Amino acid sequence: MKLQQLSVFLENKPGSLKKSLAVLADAKINISTLALAETKDYGILRLVIKDWEKAKSALEQGGFTVRQTEVLAVEVEDRPGGLATVLAPVEAAGVNVEYMYAYSTGTKAKAVLIFRFSDLDKAIAALKGAGMNVLENLQVFGP
Amino acid sequence: MTIEQWNDIPGTFHPACTPDFLPLPQLRELQLQRLQATVRRAYANVPLMRKRMDEKKVKPEDIRTLKDIERIPFTVKADLRDTYPFGMFASPMQEIVRLHASSGTTGKPIVVAYAREDIEVWTNVMLRSFAACGLHQGDIVQNAYGYGLFTGGLGAHYGAEALGATVIPISGGNTDRQIMILKDFGVTAICCTPSYFIHLIERAGEMGVKMKELPLRVGVFGAEPWSESMRQYIKENSNVEPYDIYGLSEIIGPGVGIECSAHQGLHIFEDHFLPEIIDPETGAVLPDEAEGELVLTTLSKKAMPMLRYRTRDITTLARGQCGCGRTICRFLRVGRRSDDMFIIRGINVFPSQVEHALLRVEGTLPHYQIVLTRDKGLDKMEVQVEVTPEVFADTVGAMEALQKKIAQALNQTINLNVAVRLVEPHTIQRSEGKAKRVIDQRKM
């Protein structure tokens, strides 16, 4: 159920995003999806990667500060209101969304939403109860 | 010639300045008498000094010439901290009329004591400082040094009053009001840090006050190192003649030394403070022309005599009569220190204070660097901290909380608003051996 996400600390200056991505490219690691949260001085790059352990050590060897966090991937219909159907049961369970980002595969008419919840287990229970499709690793990354 | 012009006409001086012009044999005789009395007093009343002298097998009666001072052990800032609060006092509390304190590195300040006679000496050297800057009765002095535990405010206040000038005890801060009073009260002299005066010039411009049209003509600037380019800026943007004043709480406060109209270094009031230059590594006394650490011995202080106090300021002594006619020696400010202390907005800061604050927040000491800049005449301090996996949280909120916690810990330790910038690991340059903690980008 739970997906491992990597967060990388980046300074908000020209070249720092490229430098971190170059480390992954050199290690031949493909990124499934990513998001970047930024402030005036720094940013946090969040990455979902199939081979996250290899990615983590590559980034650490490249001199980056990396943190591993558990997130949830929820598949919804790629249509208006899709996200709202996920949020309703979570809100009812009193779970807070700390951050989220999404990606759309384009072919399956489905979208995948990546969530960091204040309480992952409670969120899983609420989503399952509402009949939502919480993805396992393999489903996200494909065979 | 009227009394008001005393210090403005070459060759005429305030009577209190007489010791500045003593023939050297008399000055040396006076210094020896006072040194002997000071050593006797310190030995008799300050256990730490007695113990140090006993260890070196030197008694007060061994001081027969001025050169014998070299037999006396040094005093350092840590001694004042270790004997906090009153361990360096040579007078009982009922004879002490004033306590001041300087900021301490680890929370405890350094306490200094003044007997009534010490306040008189302080007043006298500050009077002579102002006189050397060409001030006299009739001048209106805006004293923007802080009043309080810091020695600057009251020291300048007493000296200016003793000179017969009119004192405006405005203390520091509140820039717009400072400018209003400068203008409305017809102020002729100002005492503050040089960077604050540059800030005043700039703010006055924004307020539409033409600094060059004010009667303000003298600036007594101290409490931080400053440079020729700052002097030039002040001269170009005001009619103020800048004078550098030097002092430290451990010795007496401001008034240990002052620039005169010749601007060839700062005169040390040698009848009260005996200077030496030493090699900061070995402690060996160096010839006057050599560059080294300034060591000062108080010659007339009662409540807290200081024997061979290491100032950590690196400079050179210049003997020989000055263009102004004074016989007392001068030191040439080079604005460097033999320890890692730096001065920002008049506050002494040690990198170790930053380390204490970071340790308190993070548990371990991250790589850090202090960057000093000057913006519109105001000094700014930024602490750059490398983000380690231990403190890296996944949300912006948590990182902002960390940043805020570090900033608060720094503000509490240093008493100054410090900006905190989180940086990627390994972005702060590592150097061989001792880390270079302070990057000073202020244009002196």
Structural contact between residues A64 and A23, judged by C-beta atoms closer than 8 angstroms: yes
Nearest residue of B to residue A69, measured between CA atoms: B394
Region B155-172 average pLDDT: 96
Structural contact between residues B328 and B267, judged by C-beta atoms closer than 8 angstroms: yes
Region B408-430 average pLDDT: 86
Q: How far is B392 from chain A (nearest CA, A)?
A: 7
Residue A81 forms contact with B (CB below 8 Å): no
Query: Of B285, B303, B305, which Cα lies nearest the Cα of B295?
Result: B285
Nearest residue of B to residue A99, measured between CA atoms: B395
d(CA B96, CA A49): 72
A99 CB neighbours in chain B (<8 A) are 395
The predicted-structure confidence for B186-214, as pLDDT tens digits, reads as follows: 999 999 988 788 889 888 988 999 999 99
Position B113 scores a pLDDT of 98
Query: Of B267, B261, B255, which Cα lies nearest the Cα of B328?
Result: B267
Position B107 scores a pLDDT of 60
> Could you say which residues from 46 to 75 on chain A have a Cβ atom under 8 Å away from some Cβ of chain B?
46, 63-67, 69
Nearest to B425 among A41, A63, A99 (CB): A63
Nearest residue of A to residue B388, measured between CA atoms: A65
Flag if B424 and A11 touch (Cβ within 8 Å): yes
What percentage of chain B carries pLDDT values higher than 70? Answer: 93
pLDDT band (50, 70, 90) for residue B431? low
CB proximity list for A49: less than 8 A, separation 6 or greater: A6, A24, A29, A30, A31, A32, A55
Residue from B367, B394, B421, B429 whose CB has the most chain A CBs within 10 Å, to mutate: B394
Taking one residue from A and the other from B, the number of pairs with CB-CB distance under 8 angstroms is: 49
Nearest residue of B to residue A65, measured between CA atoms: B389
Residue A4 forms contact with B (CB below 8 Å): no
- Compare A2 and B307 and report the one with higher pLDDT: B307
Position B433 scores a pLDDT of 46
| Matching residue, tokens 């004192």 | B167
For B290, the token pair is 């050599």
Q: What are phi and psi of B111, to 5 degrees?
A: -100, 135
B399 CB neighbours in chain A (<8 A) are 39, 42, 44
Nearest residue of B to residue A100, measured between CA atoms: B395
Q: How far is A28 from chain B (nearest CA, A)?
A: 23
For B306, the token pair is 């200081």
Flag if A64 and B425 touch (Cβ within 8 Å): yes
Q: Is this structure's pTM higher than 0.80?
A: no
Q: What does the pLDDT profile of chain A (143 residues) look like in tens digits? A: 789 999 999 998 899 899 999 999 999 999 988 999 988 889 999 999 989 999 999 999 888 999 999 999 998 888 888 888 889 999 999 999 999 998 876 666 788 899 999 999 999 999 999 988 888 775 666 65
Q: How far is B387 from chain A (nearest CA, A)?
A: 7
pLDDT band (50, 70, 90) for residue B359? confident
CB proximity list for A70: less than 8 A, separation 6 or greater: A2, A3, A4, A5, A120
pLDDT above 80 (res B182):
yes
Q: How far is A33 from chain B (nearest CA, A)?
A: 17
- Compare B248 and B334 and report the one with higher pLDDT: B248
Nearest to A10 among B393, B421, B424 (CB): B424
Residue ranges of the alpha helices (H) in B193-227? Answer: 194-207
The predicted-structure confidence for B99-138, as pLDDT tens digits, reads as follows: 999 765 456 789 999 999 999 999 999 999 999 999 999 9
Position A108 scores a pLDDT of 66
- Compare B243 and B393 and report the one with higher pLDDT: B243
Region B401-423 average pLDDT: 90
pLDDT, averaged across chain B: 90
Flag if B424 and A16 touch (Cβ within 8 Å): yes
Query: Of B132, B195, B197, B123, which Cα lies nearest the Cα of B160?
Result: B123
Nearest to B424 among A39, A64, A99 (CB): A64
Model-level ipTM above the cut of 0.85: no
Nearest to B389 among A44, A66, A116 (CB): A66
Flag if A11 and B394 touch (Cβ within 8 Å): no
pLDDT above 70 (res B2):
no
d(CA B279, CA B301): 26
Position B345 scores a pLDDT of 81
Q: How far is B394 from chain A (nearest CA, A)?
A: 6
pLDDT above 90 (res B351):
no
Residue A99 forms contact with B (CB below 8 Å): yes
If phi > 0 it is left, if psi is from -120 to 50 it is alpha, else beta; for residue B48 that is alpha
